[in-house]
Structure 1
Amino acid sequence: MSFTRAFTPILRNASRSTAIRAPTRRFLNTETAPVLYSAHAKVVGARTGHIEGDDLNINLTMAKALGGPGDAGKTNPEELFAAGYGACFQSAMNASAMSMKIEMPKKKEDSVVETTVHLVGDMKALDMGIRVEMKVKIKGLSRDQVEKIVAKAEEVCPYSRATKGNVHTKIEIVDV
């Protein structure tokens, strides 16, 4: 039996199931996209230094787990990343819900994103990275609605886009 005769039924069925699809949406070209907002920060002294920005004045400390003093009232890059990612992701959830005509809770405390950033790797070998865990809690919505909102937020959140493929991120939906 020839190759063509043996595979004709398979090829015939394959060609029927092939549909013309709309081109997938490309990610934003961040190099040429119009700037919506810019933030600037000046850091002096690395992990034990100081950060200044237009509306920012923060002292840094090395975390105790990394051998530093972990001074009260001071922060570190991982904590700042956790705060920024969590706030950005929650804003993306709000925008996603609105685009899907799902009403988010009126009270701010009824929609919570808890973000943990882990510094991982080997400091001695200078081979480090971060891993992110998020817990999403939204009162008054079904689990299905929350899952849809989170899935859309993962697509549109600038932090999620920036870390995709680089940072392992686990998002857990917590029933409330």
Structure 2
Amino acid sequence: MATAIRTSTLRPLARARPRHAFRTTTQTPPRHAPARRFLNTETAPVLYSAHAKVVGARTGHVEGDDLNVDLTMAKSLGGPGDKGKTNPEELFAAGYGACFQSAMNAVAPSLNVRMPSAKEDSIVESTVHLVGDMGKLDMGIRVELTVKVKGLEKEDLEKVVAKAREVCPYSRATRGNVDTRIEVVKVE
């Protein structure tokens, strides 16, 4: 004999389940189940390798194959904030923004969305915040991306951003470990 479950018994469980909606403010978008990933990063073929040699930590110098930059400690962290020099957070912000924008361009055709051809009509502004407590050496980062694309409907842009978030290597590397907030801005 089958046991019947009363729907009134299930209602509290259904109400307890969180409901998410994609927001286009600086709030964190919903954590969608990541797309099934078949790539094993341990054994996948190498497409490109970047190498950097750092001497002198946050106040030192970085050299790479095509990189030659001096570092400075940001003023807000007690350093001089020397003009013409950079820091790890700026480098990470630049890398994440460029990678995310490339992911947007790569996924747009699969969504039947045409990205603008003029470079200045598609902008990703990225901010990397160093957060935590320096005294206790308990620090992390938080990321904010602002995506501005001219000529796309906001709905189409949101689809592109959501898909880019699934495939961008930086987004994949930081998923579940770094709070990343994306704001989508429609530009006329």
Q: TM-score range by the shorter chain?
A: 0.7 to 0.9
Structure 2 unmatched ranges of 5 or more: 8-34
- Counterpart CA distance in 1 for 2:6 and 2:126 is 54
- Counterpart CA distance in 1 for 2:38 and 2:146 is 26
Higher helix share: 1
Deviation for aligned residue 1:69: 0.1
* % identity of equivalent residues: 76
Partner of 2:4: 6
Partner of 2:53: 42
- Counterpart CA distance in 2 for 1:8 and 1:147 is 40
Partner of 1:17: none
- Counterpart CA distance in 2 for 1:26 and 1:87 is 22
Amino acid of the structure 2 residue aligned with 1:87: A
Deviation for aligned residue 1:76: 0.2
Structure 1 unmatched ranges of 5 or more: 10-23
- Counterpart CA distance in 2 for 1:53 and 1:35 is 18
Alignment pair present for 1:71 and 2:82: yes
Name the larger-Rg structure. 1
SS at 1:83's partner residue? helix
Alignment pair present for 1:163 and 2:169: no
* RMSD (Å) for aligned C-alpha atoms: 1.6
- Counterpart CA distance in 1 for 2:115 and 2:78 is 42
Partner of 2:162: 151
Compare 25-34 and 60-69 and name the one that shifted more. 25-34
Deviation for aligned residue 1:26: 2.6
SS at 1:93's partner residue? helix
Deviation for aligned residue 1:7: 4.1
- Counterpart CA distance in 2 for 1:135 and 1:8 is 47
- Kindly tell me the number of residue pairs found equivalent between the two proteins: 160
Query: Normalization by structure 2: what TM-score?
Result: 0.81
Amino acid of the structure 2 residue aligned with 1:106: S
Determine which of 53, 66, 75 is the counterpart of 2:64: 53
Partner of 1:16: none
- Counterpart CA distance in 1 for 2:3 and 2:100 is 54
Task: Flag as ranges the 4+ runs of structure 1 deviating above 6 A.
Answer: none
Question: Using CA pairs below 8 Å that are at least 6 residues apart, which structure has the higher relative contact order?
Answer: 2
Partner of 2:184: 173
Partner of 2:97: 86
Deviation for aligned residue 1:27: 4.8
Partner of 2:133: 122
Query: Normalization by structure 1: what TM-score?
Result: 0.87
- Counterpart CA distance in 1 for 2:72 and 2:110 is 40
SS at 2:3's partner residue? helix
Deviation for aligned residue 1:175: 2.0
Change over 3 Å in CA distance of 1:101–1:174 after alignment to 2: same
2:70–2:86 contact (8 Å) kept in structure 1: yes
Deviation for aligned residue 1:5: 3.0
- Counterpart CA distance in 2 for 1:49 and 1:70 is 13
Deviation for aligned residue 1:142: 0.2
Deviation for aligned residue 1:53: 0.3
